[in-house]
Amino acid sequence: MIKKFIDFLTFEKRSSAHTIKAYQTDLEQLRVYLAAHYETDQPEEAQSGMLRSWIVALMEQGINPTSINRKIASIRSFYAFLRKKKVILKDPSSILVTLKTRKKLPEFIEEKGIAQLFEEIENPEDFAGIRDQAVLELLYGTGIRLSELLSIRTSDINLYSHTLRVLGKRGKERIVPLTGPLSELLPKYLSMRAPSEPTDQLIITDSGKPAYPMYVQRLVKKHLRLVTTLGQKSPHTLRHSYATHLLNRGADLNAIKELLGHTNLAATQIYTHNTIEKLKKSHQDAHPKS
């Protein structure tokens, strides 16, 4: 049933590769636990108490509450699938309660740090330099996710309308505008990339192979460590910076939601907290009674 659920996520729900891998890992961990403690390796046979004891075991191991909550979400989705398929009549995960977690604000790089970043990589001459610049400009200039960056094909770029077609979560498409620097840089990158490359994936390695997540993560970290001391130096840091800077400069929250590819406004509203924190600091620094 785990395999059937993963196939459902892959082919019907069209979940991201990251989500599928996480769900599969969580369910395999549950299966191993059940086999070790309850003499069954079939999660569809689990009772509520078995699931609760697994969550308690995870807590005793010191697993981060956020990670445990993700595992709870995974098994809830799994048992909802089993009920839909009439494999089970009662959902044993319904008694599980998510753990309280401390809300963490998205980390972002200040605008001066972003300006410094692009000054550092300005006017590269070789292919690797131009490719790195294209990656950073795309991540910050459009706010796309790492998975979305890696799914971009050369045909997704429309240099005439200065737009980019992005394939988001669950196969949802959106069109995002290209910045001025991107409109100038991408034709140069495409000409150096050469149409003879065996892949039409936009971002490729130095050897011409399709770029992969760890490759881009290392590339981004290498450049971000020159301009920020943030603990998180990842492609998502540039996405957070993109959204925060748009909001700080007066962009409409609903417009930012569409640009980021969020399905609901609640996911976008977290960026308003960064703006509020900035206002609090300004107030504290300037007000006589602060």
The confidence score (pLDDT) of residue 25 equals: 96
| Residue 73 sits in the same domain as residue 169 | no
Residue 104 belongs to a domain: no
Domain count, the chain: 2
| Residue 121 sits in the same domain as residue 65 | no
Instruction: Tell me, yes or no, if 236 is annotated catalytic.
Output: yes
| Residue 134 sits in the same domain as residue 226 | yes
Token digits for 193?
């990339």
Instruction: Tell me, yes or no, if 76 is annotated catalytic.
Output: no
| Residue 189 sits in the same domain as residue 275 | yes
Whole-angstrom Cα distance, residue 273 to residue 269? Answer: 7
**Does residue 98 carry a pLDDT above 70?**
yes
In terms of residue numbers, what domain contains 74? 2-95
Instruction: Tell me, yes or no, if 174 is annotated catalytic.
Output: no
Bridge-partner residues for 164, per DSSP? 157, 176
In order, the DSSP letters of 139-208 are HHHH---HHHHHH-BGGGEETTTTEEEEE-GGG-EEEEEPPHHHHHHHHHHHHHH-TTSS--BSSB-TTS
Residue 101 belongs to a domain: no
Residues 6+ apart with CB under 8 A from 274: 105, 106, 108, 244, 247
Instruction: Tell me, yes or no, if 262 is annotated catalytic.
Output: yes
**Does residue 281 carry a pLDDT above 70?**
no
Q: Of 70, 162, 165, 236, which residue is the catalytic one?
A: 236
Q: Of 71, 145, 193, 233, which residue is the catalytic one?
A: 145
| Residue 131 sits in the same domain as residue 248 | yes
In the chain, how long is the greatest CA-to-CA distance? 68
The three-class DSSP label of residue 61 is: coil
**Does residue 97 carry a pLDDT above 80?**
yes
| DSSP state, residue 8 | I
Q: Of 169, 174, 221, 278, which residue is the catalytic one?
A: 169
Q: Of 239, 240, 245, 257, which residue is the catalytic one?
A: 239
| Residue 37 sits in the same domain as residue 65 | yes
Whole-angstrom Cα distance, residue 251 to residue 232? Answer: 25
Question: Which amino acid is residue 121, in one-letter code?
Answer: I
| Residue 140 sits in the same domain as residue 277 | yes
Domain end (from 95, 122, 138): 95
Only one residue has tokens 């709870």, namely 72
Question: What is the pLDDT of the chain when averaged over all its residues?
Answer: 90
> Residue 129's domain is classified under what CATH number?
1.10.443.10
**Does residue 290 carry a pLDDT above 70?**
no
Q: 73: pLDDT confidence band, cut at 50, 70 and 90?
A: very high
What average pLDDT does this structure show over 81-95? 94
pLDDT per position as a tens digit, 188-211: 999 988 666 678 999 999 988 999
**Does residue 89 carry a pLDDT above 80?**
yes
